[in-house]
A and B are shown apart, each in its own frame.
Chain A
Amino acid sequence: MRGAIWLALVLLVSCSGPPQRSHYVLVSQAGSSTVAVVDPVQGRTIKRITVGGLPHRMVLNRDKNKVYVVLVGSQAVAEVDVQRLLVSRTFLTAPVPERRSDGSLIQPHFEQNAFTKTSCFTCHNPGGARPFIVGERPVGIAFSSDHSRLFVSHIRQGRLSEIDLGRAEVVRAVNLPPSGSASEAADVARVGSRLVVALRPRQPSTEASAVRWLDEATLDPLFEAPTGSDPAFMLPWGEGALVSNFESDTLSLHVPGSSPKSYTVTPGPLGLLAVGSGKILSLNYYSNAVSLVDLASGQAEHHRLELGGRVFVNPTHAALSPDGRRAYIVSSGTEGHLVVFDLERRQAIQAIPIDGLSFDVVVVPR
């Protein structure tokens, strides 16, 4: 009898599986200024961490103990301690301004000593100073080669800032010259010792954007190539960067010295996730679908994001489970869900409620 119970326990443990028990899934919830900590085993949000205004992109550091969350509405980056599941620090990505765009003095910034704050969210929060959304609108984020610094791109003025994580401050910033009407630095990625920035025109637009390569050390421009009107995300891929052209149904692979190579997915590609074996998963926002693309052959298979007859709309980003067998996908409609997608069976197998209008996702160790 005792042996049978032992066997049952062993089977139970092996079924639930160590990979599933060993991690949390963090989701940036733009509508509620929070990051949700989702336990995929329990299938629910176990904690909500208030991080700041409009949290969007997130990156996990090399040691897997810190997550950096871009606060689009608070002109800052929040550092989340993975073990404690708390915000440990925030960093401004651009200086707090003294004046408005019309030249008038922002008196409350002097009265509140705003120049010493590390996030605009300290004052511009629900119930606090208005407007709620302020600043240069940081969006893209990438680690430096040695992971000691962060590069952050901004929508307003095409600013690219470099934050030293040791000193907890911006150590270098440039306003990137526009390329035609493309002036918004929509994303930044690092490929080796080069940075690649997506510059797009003010949206909505039908004019071309630019993929610009910079030297990481000097921030000098190296080369540039046109792309679609609304590049949303760039995934480093070998010597190049794979760009999702959100306004279309294409991805384009930009490799310096070569013509861009195009891949067809379904409408509205946004997030891109490397899933191994030379394949990527494209999250196709407007078509409520994902595409599994083999970048070598160019073959793509498309899967509608549905489970039990229900369609999960507007996928934005995805993260890979530690065992590489599942992708956690943010369904970012006004009804938010974290959809668990089985990469082998090519189908959604679970949907966990999260806030509506969520955006990015990372997997962290427990």
Chain B
Amino acid sequence: MKKTLGMAFLLGLLAACGSGDSGGGNNGSSAPNTVVGLVTDIGSGARLAGVTVRVVGSSQTTTTDSRGEFILQNLPPGLVKVDVEKAGYAPGHGLAESTSSAQAMLIALKKEGAEQSYNPTQARTLFQRTEAGPYAVIFQPNSLNSTDPNLRVVVTPLDPTKEDSALPGDLIAGGASPTPLGAVTFAEFSILDSQNRRVNLKPGSSAIVELPIPPELCSRYNIGDKIHCYAYNPQTGRWEDFVEGTVERSSVDGTTPVLRASIRHFSWYGGAPAVQDQECVDVEVRNRFGPLAGAVVTARPGLRAVTNRLGHAEITIEKGVPVNFTATKTYTDTFVDNNGNLIPKPGAKVIDIGRVYEDDLIGLDGKNYTRTPGPCPGASGQSVRPAATNPLPIRVAPAPEGFFRAIALLQPGGLVMVQLEKGIPNADGDLEDAEPASGAKITISDNAGKEATLSELAPGTYFANNFNVEPGKRYTLNIDADGNGSIDGSGSAFAVGTVAWSNLSHGGTYSAASLTAAWSDSGSAQPGYSALYQVSFQRIGGSGVSDMAFYLGSERSFQPRAQTDPPTPLVPGTYTVMLSAFSGALSGGYLDITDNITGIGMQGQIYSLQEVDPITITLTP
């Protein structure tokens, strides 16, 4: 008996040593063939309760709990595909591997577009407009597999430059040698009949869709360019039916550059060319106890990898573009308390999540992270890197329980300021009972290695000392809202460039009939830069429609014309002329505000603006 007790004590000591060796708390027990999931709203970051989760090809279903989480157990080995459904949201889909340890599945749902009625005997163009332009579907008569005259069509747009985590599946041309696909523009198309059944195209029929090129990608694509398009197949969990689409002007508004393509099956659909410029990045996933083995790392645009026993993984990404890295690790039947102890808790659903948004892999600490040209060598995916390498760190921790909202301002030539609030999101995603959120860790970085950690100036107000925002440069904000070491939300925006009049000067005299007002922007040469300009001409002492002209758009010139029908030159006189520039969360023809800081449990906006000093000019006939 003594001997047995002694052996048990020794085993206990060994177990304790083992746990210390791996950093402590990193080997939580994890059930095999189990998937633990978290469903959130991509717009607000809020956890979504009551979401129906169905395993594709099986009768297994479940529902998310009050924390937006679900667990699926006793799954067959291999790829697990799930469909998720919640009223008011576009259909969502998730993928994970059922293996010897539990895996995490993060699913972000997008609020669906407005419902529109359609009689399938008619030719019709239906569209949903966003700040990027009209997302359209063009039906041929009698092309659907329903004769119900009261169909409802829902088009849900998705801008991958802001919402890529809501795209289902892996954007990968897989097979023998996987290649990442670079998302350009997407939408989900749902058609429902009077009985709420899904309707699709007849076999052999097609429709045409037009998807706007997001403003941030407009400089990359020209009219006439071809872009590969795919439809998501929930049954296989893959993007399929590759066809070439063409960049053309929208048939709805005649101006917006759109990807126009033929669609054969209504589902998620969009354009994503194969990524040619690839590089292999060394990443290291850590939780607060140390390096984490078995964490799944996903890069967009890029591939997927699993960390080795040192917490390292090599992962292929697209070179020279902003990349979102997400790492997950899940535990079941245990949870980790504040002291790092593993506490038995049957049925626990613990997901450690870490995100890093990197503009050009010259990271937050100003270092160039280890990377090599071309895709990662397939065989060395699990190799242990030499200690001399400088892996990109990804810190993981449980997603925040609260809900945060950030507003960040980049003042060109000046400062960066962030306001962070914590509260409860209502149905529209707005915070109720919001209070300033203290204790956050917020960093700002540019794409050349310059970075700063913001100080908390007052509760919930953060400010970067000694960090000068350079006009025309892109900045990335990473926010650890609850201060637990993992990034909860991130976003990026260009600081507005230096904007100045090209052909107008204070006190100048110009012909109203021939004047084209033009201005320059030092940021316009940067790839991905897209500013919005607001210009107003107001005659001093005048208030009629012929005394004022107004422009809001992304061009850098316009002809000031009175708001008459037809438009006419402004009446002669002395005018005050104002010019402002915006970038980031402010966009579109109506200066729409869109969230560009996203994450789980948080949302917000990062933006920049510049006002040029008003000038006074004289207009002659």
Residues of A within 8 A of B243 (CB): 203
With A249-B204, A286-B264, A314-B242 as given contacts, are A355 and B236 in contact (CB-CB < 8 Å)? no
Contact B261 A204 (CB under 8 A): yes
Report how far A137 CA is from B230 CA in the complex, Å: 21
Contact A334 B277 (CB under 8 A): no
The number of chain B residues touching the other chain, given as a range, is 35 or more
Report how far A48 CA is from B176 CA in the complex, Å: 11
Contact A356 B206 (CB under 8 A): no
- Residue of A at shortest CB range from B208? A204
B614 within 8 A of A: no
Residues of B within 8 A of A127 (CB): 277, 319, 373-374
Residues of B within 8 A of A356 (CB): 172-175, 178-179
Within 8 A of A (CB), among B605-620: none
Residues of A within 8 A of B262 (CB): 203-204, 247
Residues of A within 8 A of B276 (CB): 33, 125-126, 132
Contact A354 B175 (CB under 8 A): yes
With A247-B262, A286-B264 as given contacts, are A334 and B208 in contact (CB-CB < 8 Å)? no
B240 within 8 A of A: yes
- Residue of A at shortest CB range from B206? A247
Contact B203 A267 (CB under 8 A): yes
Report how far A179 CA is from B208 CA in the complex, Å: 22
B355 within 8 A of A: no
Q: How many A-B residue pairs have CB under 8 A?
A: 110
B278 within 8 A of A: yes
Within 8 A of B (CB), among A233-278: 247-249, 266-268
Contact A336 B175 (CB under 8 A): yes
Contact B173 A314 (CB under 8 A): no
With A126-B277, A267-B264, A313-B240 as given contacts, are A336 and B203 in contact (CB-CB < 8 Å)? no
Residues of A within 8 A of B539 (CB): none
**Whole-angstrom distance from the CB of B204 to the nearest CB of chain A?**
4
Contact A355 B177 (CB under 8 A): yes
**Whole-angstrom distance from the CB of B6 to the nearest CB of chain A?**
54
Residues of A within 8 A of B521 (CB): none
B244 within 8 A of A: yes
Report how far A32 CA is from B181 CA in the complex, Å: 12
Residues of B within 8 A of A311 (CB): 236
Contact partner, B278, options A126, A287, A313, A314, Cβ 8 Å: A126
Residues of A within 8 A of B240 (CB): 313-314, 333-334
Residues of A within 8 A of B175 (CB): 334-337, 353-356, 358
Residues of A within 8 A of B177 (CB): 29, 32, 48, 355
Contact B277 A353 (CB under 8 A): no
With A126-B278, A267-B203, A335-B175 as given contacts, are A203 and B244 in contact (CB-CB < 8 Å)? yes
Report how far A6 CA is from B240 CA in the complex, Å: 50
A35 within 8 A of B: no
**Whole-angstrom distance from the CB of A36 to the nearest CB of chain B?**
7
Within 8 A of B (CB), among A165-209: 202-204, 206
Contact A357 B226 (CB under 8 A): no
- Indicate with 1 or 0, residue by residue over A25-36, a CB within 8 angstroms of chain B CB atoms: 000011111001
- Indicate with 1 or 0, residue by residue over B288-331, a CB within 8 angstroms of chain A CB atoms: 00000000000000000000000000000001000000000000
**Whole-angstrom distance from the CB of B399 to the nearest CB of chain A?**
29
Contact A357 B242 (CB under 8 A): yes
Report how far A354 CA is from B175 CA in the complex, Å: 5
- Residue of B at shortest CB range from A309? B57
Report how far A32 CA is from B276 CA in the complex, Å: 8
Report how far A334 CA is from B274 CA in the complex, Å: 10
Contact A249 B203 (CB under 8 A): yes
Residues of A within 8 A of B242 (CB): 314, 332-334, 357
Within 8 A of B (CB), among A132-191: 132-133, 137
A45 within 8 A of B: yes
- Please indicate which of the listed interface residues A29, A202, A285, A334 has the most CB atoms of chain B within 10 Å of its own CB: A334
B246 within 8 A of A: yes
Within 8 A of A (CB), among B154-193: 172-179, 181
- Indicate with 1 or 0, residue by residue over A19-57, a CB within 8 angstroms of chain B CB atoms: 000000000011111001000000001001000000000
Contact B204 A267 (CB under 8 A): yes
Residues of A within 8 A of B230 (CB): 334
Contact A313 B173 (CB under 8 A): no
A-B contact pairs, 6 of them (CB 8 A): A36-B176, A204-B206, A266-B203, A267-B204, A335-B175, A337-B175
Q: Which residues of B contact A (CB under 8 A)?
A: 140, 172-179, 181, 203-204, 206, 208, 226, 228, 230, 233, 236, 238-246, 260-262, 264, 274, 276-278, 319, 373-374
